[in-house]
């Protein structure tokens, strides 16, 4: 007893340390190697995921490119329209001047009516000025069109009156007071026109045809 007591006193951890238990130690097993089939399946799945991501990114890129192209086309069209129609108010004033010039020429006597030579030369000179003026307008996108003989179009013509006529188709323009003016194809000023309508049908009677009723018994 004295020897055991002395041993415990000399080695205090001899009693506190329990004996090692091999069953409490965790056993770490190495990873099991994958079979070739498993490796191929994992690679195929990864490739499928990458292809799906690539297709999605390609679709987004194409949509973005299409949207960018639409924006560029829309911006270009707006710039062109702004440039072409920015002078619309000025063009309307110029058209009014051209019509006043034409009215002035029409007010002059026609050539060959026994008028003095100075009047004929004045009319000829003003007609030359009008032709040059209209050519300048056409080079800048302002065009004049005479609607006489065409079908009435409410988008281009303004009906000022209707007149019965058997020589013109119903609904056609038989006379134009002013022409149609357009700016790069857009209506600038409608034409003031007279529209033809069919004459009333003649009512025939037995009296006018010479027919007589038989009143004898």
Q: What is the CATH number of the domain that holds 121?
A: 2.30.22.10
**What does pLDDT average to over the chain?**
80
Q: What count of other Cβ atoms lies within 10 Å of the Cβ of residue 168? A: 19
Query: Which domain covers residue 134, as residue numbers?
Result: 88-197
The answer to whether residue 208 sits within a structural domain is no
pLDDT at 212: 46
pLDDT at 202: 42
pLDDT at 200: 81
Both 171 and 99 in a single domain?
yes
Choosing from 86, 114, 144, the residue where a domain stops is 86
| Number of domains into which the chain is organized | 2
The answer to whether residue 23 sits within a structural domain is no
pLDDT under 70 in the chain at which residues? 1-32, 111-114, 201-217
Choosing from 53, 86, 119, the residue where a domain stops is 86
The answer to whether residue 69 sits within a structural domain is yes
Both 100 and 186 in a single domain?
yes
Chain centroid to CA 39: how far? 56
Both 130 and 73 in a single domain?
no
pLDDT at 28: 53
Both 139 and 58 in a single domain?
no
Q: What is the pTM of this model?
A: 0.57
Both 187 and 159 in a single domain?
yes
pLDDT at 217: 38
pLDDT at 203: 36
The answer to whether residue 54 sits within a structural domain is yes
């Amino acid at each position: 007893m004295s020897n055991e007591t002395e041993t415990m006193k000399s080695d205090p951890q001899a009693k506190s340390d329990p004996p090692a238990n091999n069953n409490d130690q965790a056993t770490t097993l190495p990873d099991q190697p994958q079979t070739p089939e498993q490796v191929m399946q994992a690679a195929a799945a990864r490739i499928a995921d990458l292809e799906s991501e690539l297709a999605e990114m390609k679709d987004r890129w194409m949509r973005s490119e299409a949207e960018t192209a639409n924006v560029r086309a829309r911006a270009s069209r707006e710039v062109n329209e702004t440039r072409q129609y920015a002078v619309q108010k000025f063009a309307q004033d110029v058209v009014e001047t051209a019509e006043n010039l034409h009215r002035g020429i029409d007010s002059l006597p026609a050539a060959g009516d026994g008028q003095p030579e100075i009047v004929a030369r004045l009319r000829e000179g003003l007609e030359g000025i009008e032709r040059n003026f209209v050519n300048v307008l056409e080079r800048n996108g302002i065009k004049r069109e005479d609607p006489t003989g065409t079908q009435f179009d409410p988008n281009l013509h303004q009906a000022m009156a209707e007149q019965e006529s058997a020589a013109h188709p119903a609904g056609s323009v038989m006379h134009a007071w002013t022409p149609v003016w357009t700016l790069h194809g857009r209506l600038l000023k409608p034409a003031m026109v007279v529209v033809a309508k069919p004459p009333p049908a003649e009512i025939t009677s037995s009296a006018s045809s010479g027919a007589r009723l038989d009143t004898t018994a």
